[in-house]
Amino acid sequence: MLPCEIKSEKVITVGQKGLFQCLLNQDQKGGKHFEFQVLDAAEFTLQFLGDAQLKENILEQEFTSYKVGNYNFNKINLIIDGKSLPVSPMQFEVKTIITEPSPTPYPLISAQKIAAPWWWWVMWGLILVGSCVYGWIQFIKWKKRKFEEANRPKVKILTSFEKYKLNLQKLESQEFHLKGEYKRFALDLSQIIKKAIGEKLSFLADDLTTEELFETLEKKHKKFWVPVQGVMTNAFITLDQIKFAKTPATAEMCMALLDASRLIGDELYKDEVKVEAVQ
């Protein structure tokens, strides 16, 4: 068994370093790697610190413990270059650093009230006043907004049929037919009817000639075309004659064309006409 002993004090406190020394012979001190191994140590009772240090023929190893008690370790081996050698038993005591009766360094006293400084009250007073002013301003804005919304004139959204009738009324109010501007009247009325048909039936009717318009309606929109074929044919033939100065026009002729355009609109927007009738 390798002779070893504790060279530091054998009574240490928790976490305090101790020094363990072993005497090596000539062959043993020629080793390259030294390591102590404890076989009977419980957790936290013995812990070697760092590597063992060889000083001539004495091997020194620092150790410590983190558990209070008296310890006697009989199964300690020194491993030299992989070869295990038993060493002398290791005995020491670990004490706590806490003194009785209480670890509290100062006596406990009851909590004491500390008066708040004057600026603390001023600051919170300003915050309170500012919050009240801000809330009042927001309330005034909200009341104003509600008043404006309640008194805002409501804009009626016109239906397609209402827009069509409004365009005819506008054309009539411009009195082109009374001023002798028949061509201007015919051009505007043709455009109003074609635009309404194109928007309602979903095709580009504005740029079509009269023949192209009739052909499209007859092939693709017979449900609309059949009831208005006679009225629409007569109206557009007359409009074309006025536009191209092929026939003399009168105010009465223009009024008849307006009546014909209203009949065309009634058929084109008959679904909306039914809704208006019910209402």
CA-to-CA distance for 85 and 32, rounded, in angstroms?
15
Of 55, 71, 78, 56, the residue nearest 3 (C-alpha): 78
Q: Is the separation of the CB atoms in 161 and 273 below 8 Å? A: yes
The residues of the chain that CATH labels 1.20.120 are 160-278
Q: How is domain 4-95 classified at the CATH fold level?
A: Immunoglobulin-like (2.60.40)
Q: Is the separation of the CB atoms in 59 and 34 below 8 Å? A: yes
What pLDDT, on a 0 to 100 scale, did the predictor assign at position 197? Answer: 94
| Paired residues of 60 in beta bridges | 21, 53
Of 81, 109, 4, the residue nearest 48 (C-alpha): 4
> Which residue type is seen at 222?
K
Q: Report pLDDT digits (tens) over 186-215.
A: 999 999 999 999 999 999 888 899 999 999
C-alpha 92: how far from its chain's center? 65
Mean pLDDT of the 166-194 span: 93
Q: What kind of architecture, by CATH, is found in domain 160-278? A: Up-down Bundle (1.20)
Q: Report pLDDT digits (tens) over 61-109.
A: 888 888 888 888 788 888 888 888 888 888 888 888 776 555 555 556 6
The residues of the chain that CATH labels 2.60.40.10 are 4-95
